Structure 1
Amino acid sequence: GDFLLPGVRGPGGGGGRLELGKSGKDRVATPTAFNAFKNNYVLVYSLMMSGDWLQGPYMYYLYSQYGFDKGDIGRLFVAGFGSSMLFGTIVGSLADRQGRKRACITYCITYILSCITKHSPHYRVLLGRILGGVATSLLFSAFESWLVAEHNKRGYDPQWLSITFSKAIFLGNGLIAIIAGLFANLLADNLGFGPVAPFDAAACFLAIGMAIIMSSWSENYGDQSEGKDLMSQFKVAAKAIASDEKIALLGAIQSLFEGSMYTFVFLWTPALSPNDQDIPHGFIFATFMLSSMLGSSIASRLLARKMKVEGYMQIVFAVSAFTLFLPVATSLLVPTSSVKGSGISFGGSLQLLGFCTFESCVGIFWPSIMKMRSQYIPEEARSTIMNFFRIPLNLFVCVVLYNVNAFPITVMFGMCSIFLFMAAILQRRLMLVADLHKLSTKSQEMTAQDEPLNP
């Protein structure tokens, strides 16, 4: 595949030369090269995400079909989550040193292997979860950094980067997720191939994506000098957090929300089928993703209207706290059907409505938290600061899922609900602190002639 690479680099170089001509005809020629580059990335990213999303709906169900109980499945989730956490801290700098293209190919290989292990009903399956965790942490860092570096290397306008990102996120994190849910449902239920089929489909999509990467991407590396050890990075982060309450608040808010979200990913399957009711996992997953997409479109409306993020996020957190309290309420008020194999119960559909609302809150959360991060957290230390908060959060989620058998599901939901309520309170505090900060900087700017007013 390496022979093709010089050719691929051509359009970038060509684009730079054409810019000098600056005649109308040439200016149009540059975007075509860029569009090809953008579409290639969006296609690859969509294939990568489909490989990820296809595994979502049936993960819990597959393990339960293999005869594992809630506690065992919790530990399997921990294996994936823990490896993603441990690996996530070093994967960025590893990819920078070893090459991003190589990291992207590693993602494909580890995830395909992880899919293959799903065929074994033994606890060896664990191995697959660990690989899956490694893959996930690569997915969230390697592709983005490859794109940014390649975009700049080809000399494209930095403004165009957001075009590629928004298209990739709309497709890869939105549309593809919905289609993947429906497709997984089709394979597993409607066509009757069983819950392992979506994992095989995921492996196929990843293999196609890998072929495209190997044949059409060029390698790029990060800043090699940034190989600072974790301790020194954490000192920087700790200093930033200690010096600015806003950073501490934002980190805590994000951790509380993400913690609830990851716990929810585990809980929704057993919550909707407490007595092994037959529920269409893929279809439900697709409605979750649709809700989440709706949420992000609401967020972009709100942000476009210059709505105050710190203001509306309080409401979002309060609403999400309420939605995850619903299962607690329904279990107390609505009698559950104890018939095995029946469809979803009334309490179940009520919860499903709540879960969809929660997913829309998730959709609003991502763009909004990104906006606040860009306002409050200095760019150079951003990823380090986020890791600083993520580690205690992930440890906590691991502890909860590891001991999942010790609590009834309703207790878990209650805990998530309290987390989200705390996030709402901290968000309120952040708004007040930010306003005070603005006021104090304003009062410092006041001129000397105003001084005599308050003797």
Structure 2
Amino acid sequence: MELFYWVVFGGLGAVVAAVELTKSGKDRINTSTAFNAFKSNYLLVYSLMMAGDWLQGPYVYYLYSQYGYGKGEIGQLFIAGFGSSMLFGTIVGSLADKQGRKRACVTYCITYVLSCITKHSPLYEVLMLGRILGGIATSLLFSAFESWLVAEHNKRGFEQQWLSLTFSKAIFLGNGLVAILSGLFGNILVDSLSLGPVAPFDAAACFLAIGMAIILSSWTENYGDPSENKDLLSQFKGAAAAIASDEKIALLGAIQSLFEGSMYTFVFLWTPALSPNEEDIPHGFIFATFMLASMLGSSFASRLMARSYPKVESYMQIVFVISAASLLLPVVTSMLVPPSKVKGGSISFSGSIQLIGFCAFEACVGIFWPSIMKMRSQYIPEEARSTIMNFFRIPLNIFVCVVLYNVNAFPITVMFGMCSIFLFVASILQRRLMVIAERQKSRPLDSERDTEYETEPLNH
């Protein structure tokens, strides 16, 4: 493997170590022993769940291509995953609120294990079934676990500020350290041990099974709306009404859809972007490098959220602008650097520049996850948390499905340019969210002053 990859990986690792080792007392939050035990249990489960997800990530596209499918057919398989997440996501989110978040987390494990098993078959229909199961599982991963955590955190009476600590640690470990180890472990299974591209999916199923055993043995159940008589349609109406009546929730949903839509499109695009002429690139190692960059972002996020200033609504505007610039890099390099027409070989010069830009984008992803979790915990009502969070995923999945359906119709630079535009729009919406939040915070103070002014003459 080339020195370039090791230099990028080592440089990011050194920065992460420096950020973590230079944390001061202002960057840390004092917590109780009971909370630390609760947090450790959740982080263990979340890390196992993410290991099951991350082990698959770098090899989905590669596995399908090894089975002989082209970019168009692979795009259709990806569409099946996002489409099922869109169709079933809101339903499973509502069921999680009504039937229990713990049950939903166990369902995630079972569904994703079944999805992993389908990867052993080269049949298109079986792979399509696996993508559908994977889409359902993804909806549960990004709603049920967070909903269970927030409800359980509040039920146990822990301080609200401690929740941001769990969020940042979960992303640092689950989307950082575990993802890096998963990428390296997958690289060992596929390249070093030559077990084939399906081996990471078998390993993922094992981690998911272990996590499910811990959930069943140590988690308690919690629910959304306490009304047992509320049917799914009523839950949908309640969630839609909450989004329509509060502009902050609607803006948060739009921001999340724009960012995650760009992120999931990037997941599909980074492999062909770095190897347009079938260059030989180490998929697992590059993925581990991306996750190290994400880990760096989450480390910065934990510092930012431990302080009262700057507010999350403020610094996320800058994060979205940087992420927009990062995904614009392939467009810029295509105009400035002449494309290579030599098949195979090592990564090109433009590919090397794009890799660095993609690492910057992944650092923004690392900041995004704990920050959006904190904003969701502040603005989304508890009684329909899972339902509303999966409502947010509907426009996200529509966007990604449209992009992937037209993957052969547009050059890859056009799709990156579109993602960059959406991220810039997200920064504008984030600005709007901050203005509304600050305005609503100042209103109680203004009304309090008005009341004092009106009653003052009566006291004389």
TM-score range, shorter chain: 0.7 to 0.9
Deviation sequence 1:237-265 (CA, Å, 0-9, x none) = 44444444333333222221121111111
Residue 394 of structure 1 corresponds to: 397
Distance 1:369 1:69, change over 3 A: same
User: What is the alpha-carbon distance in structure 1 between the residues aligned to residue 368 and residue 295 of structure 2?
Assistant: 11
Structure 1 contact 292–363 (Cα < 8 Å) conserved: yes
| Offset of residue 142 of structure 1 | 4.1
Asked whether the 8 Å contact 1:91–1:138 carries over to 2, the reply is yes
Give the letter for the 1:416 counterpart: C
Aligned to 1:247: 249
Match of 1:181, SS? Answer: helix
Shift of 1:441: 5.2
Which residue of the partner structure matches residue 13 of structure 1?
none
Where does the alignment leave 5 or more consecutive residues of structure 1 unmatched? 1-29
The reply to whether residue 281 of structure 1 matches residue 252 of structure 2 is no
Name the CA distance, whole Å, in 2 between partners of 1:373 and 1:145: 10
Within a 5 Å distance, the mapping from 1:93-108 to structure 2 comes to 93-95=94-96, 102-108=103-109
Deviation of the 1:358 alpha carbon: 0.6
SS state of the match for residue 121, structure 1?
coil
Higher relative contact order (CA 8 A, sep 6+): 2
- Paired with 2:441 and 2:143, the residues of 1 have a C-alpha distance of 34
In the other structure, the counterpart of 2:207 is: 205
Deviation at 1:99, TM superposition (A): 5.4
**How big is the alpha-carbon RMSD for the aligned residues of Structure 1 and Structure 2?**
3.2
How many angstroms apart in 2 are the aligned matches of 1:356 and 1:391? 27
* Rg (Cα) greater in structure: 1
2:140 match: 138
Is 2:417 aligned against 1:419? Answer: no
Q: Secondary structure at the match of 2:58?
A: coil
Distance 1:347 1:84 in 2: 34
Q: CA deviation at 1:319?
A: 1.1
Change (3 A) 1:236 1:204: closer
TM-aligned CA deviation for residue 279 of structure 1:
0.8
Structure 2: distance between partners of 1:54 and 1:390: 23
Change beyond 3 A, Cα 1:327–1:152: closer
Aligned-pair CA distance for 1:212: 4.5
CA distance in 2, matches of 1:101, 1:242: 29
Which residue among 296, 299, 305 is the counterpart of 1:297?
Answer: 299
Give the Cα–Cα distance (whole angstroms) in 2 for the partners of residues 94 and 59 of structure 1: 29
Q: Paired residue for 2:188, among 186, 189, 194?
A: 186
The answer as to 2:274 corresponding to 1:272 is yes
Deviation at 1:386, TM superposition (A): 3.6
For 1:329-340, list aligned pairs within 5 A: 329-340=332-343
1:62, CA displacement in angstroms? 1.2
Report the Cα distance in structure 2 between the residues aligned to 1:39 and 1:450, rounded to whole angstroms: 50
- Closer, same or farther: CA 231–360 of 1 in aligned 2, 3 Å: same
Contact 2:97 2:385 in 1 (8 A): no
- How far 1:175 sits from its partner (Å)? 1.2
**Equivalent residue letter for 2:95:** L
Displacement of 1:402 = 2.0
**Residue 195 (str. 1) matches residue 203 (str. 2):** no
Give the match for residue 119 of structure 1. Answer: 120
TM-score normalised per structure 1: 0.81
Letter in structure 1 aligned against 2:281: I
Distance 1:401 1:254 in 2: 19
Aligned residues: 418
Q: Separation in 2 of the partners of 1:394 and 1:274?
A: 26
TM-superposed CA distance for 1:412, in Å, is 0.7
Residue aligning to 1:363: 366
Aligned ranges 1:34-49 → 2 under 5 Å:
39-49=40-50
Distance 1:233-1:314 versus aligned 2 partners, 3 A rule: same
Q: For structure 2, which runs of at least 5 residues remain unmatched after alignment?
A: 1-31, 455-460
Which residue in 1 is equivalent to 2:62?
61
Compute the TM-score of the two structures, normalised by the length of structure 2: 0.80
- Taking the aligned partners of 1:246 and 1:94, their CA distance within structure 2 comes to 25
Q: Is the alpha carbon distance of 1:108 and 1:243 closer, same or farther for their aligned partners in structure 2, counting shifts above 3 Å?
A: closer
Aligned counterpart, 2:75: 74
The match for 2:346 is: 343
Contact 1:95 1:221 in 2 (8 A): no
1:322 aligns to what?
Answer: 325
Which residue identity does 2:173 align to in structure 1? L
CA shift, 1:81, in A, is 1.5
1:258 matches 2:256: no
When structure 1 is superposed on structure 2, of 248-257 and 313-322 the one drifting more is: 248-257
State the distance in 2 between where 1:352 and 1:139 align.
28
Partner of 1:21: none
- Same amino acid, percent of matched pairs: 78
Any residues of structure 2 matched to 1:82-93 within 5 Å, and which? 82-93=83-94
Q: 1:313 to 1:43 in 2, by over 3 A?
A: closer
Q: What is the identity, as a one-letter code, of the residue corresponding to 2:158?
A: P
Q: Following the alignment from structure 1 to structure 2, what is the Cα–Cα distance between the partners of residues 303 and 152?
A: 19
AA at the equivalent of 2:191: D
The corresponding residue for 1:5 is: none
8 Å contact 1:99–1:219 — kept in the other structure? no
Distance 1:39 1:434 in 2: 32
Pick the aligned partner of 2:314 from 308, 311, 324.
311
Q: Kindly state the Cα deviation for residue 149 of structure 1 after the two structures are TM-superposed.
A: 6.8
Structure 1 36/414 Cα, relative in aligned 2: closer, same or farther at 3 Å? closer
Name the amino acid aligned to 2:357.
Answer: G
| One-letter amino acid matched to 1:204 | C
Do the aligned residues in 2 keep the contact of 1:101 with 1:217 (CA within 8 Å)?
A: no
Instruction: Check 1:171–1:436 CA distance in 2 against 1; reply closer, same or farther (3 A cut).
Output: closer
CA distance in 2, matches of 1:112, 1:234: 29
CA distance in 1, matches of 2:442, 2:98: 45
In 1, Cα distance between equivalents of 2:281 and 2:234: 49
Partner of 1:285: helix, strand, or coil?
helix
Inter-CA distance 172–428: structure 2 relative to 1 (3 Å threshold): closer
In 1, the alpha carbon distance for the partners of 2:95 and 2:452 equals 57
Kindly indicate whether the alpha-carbon contact (under 8 Å) linking 2:171 and 2:295 is maintained by their aligned counterparts in 1: no
Q: Deviations over 1:144-200 (max 9, x none)?
A: 5556677788xx553498476665544333211110011111111233223222112
Per-residue CA deviations over 1:266-317 (Å, capped at 9, x if unaligned) read 1111111111111111111111111111111112222333113333222211
